[in-house]
Amino acid sequence: MARSGRYKVKFRRRREGKTDYMKRLALLKSRKPRVVVRRTNRYIIVQFVEFKGEGDEVIAYAFSKELEKYGWPYGGKNLPAAYLTGYLAAMRAKKAGVMEAILDIGRFPSTRGSRLYAALKGVLDAGIDVPHSPEILPDEDRIRGEHIVSFAEKLEEEGSLERQFSDYLRKGADPKIIPETFESVLEKISAISND
């Protein structure tokens, strides 16, 4: 570390590579709640966060593991799960009075059609206004899981379906009916959230 008297130590979260303070300041200047989308190795987390003087306050959130309660037997980190998690969080945020927000993807790379933008699509479809560019959102077929079905059918022809989808099959979930399951879970979330 530099020993000059003019050297200023950066904030701890900046040194750890966790927070980009320039980006955070730009988001806070909008004075809108933030849709914070984060992904872990196994799950997707969507939070609606509002800045307060003493710190950030979470208004509403959803965690992709919660989708199991609605009948989603598949993984919590795929594209359909990200969409459903965003939709669930947005329905909860609407109950809390949030009608518009701004997207915060943190330090994750901005890749067109990624899981982060699938969660954004779920937020948009739930009726919350978030500024975005339409070409970054994934296709409807990918959101419904059609790409997973075509991959599973290809593997079944090759005879290696059990090896690749062992987790799904162990739970009794057929990877070839993901779109139907997606639609039923989406209806359940809509019905419960509208009550």
Please name each of the domains of the chain with its CATH number: 18-140+181-194 (3.30.420.100)
CB 121 within 8 A of CB 143: yes
The structure's pTM equals 0.89
Six token digits for residue 121: 């699509």
pLDDT at position 71, please? 93
Kindly state the tokens that stand for 194. 């509208």
Q: Give all strands (DSSP E) within 98-147, no chain letters.
A: 102-104
34-39 and 44-52 beta bridge pairing: antiparallel
* CA–CA distance, 65 with 13 (Å, rounded to integer): 27
**pLDDT of the residue at 85:** 97
| Token pair of 96 as six digits | 């809390």
Nearest to 145 by CA among 103, 176, 169: 176
10-residue block means of pLDDT along the chain (195 residues)?
75 83 79 93 96 89 95 93 97 95 90 95 96 95 94 90 86 90 95 71
**pLDDT for 21:** 77
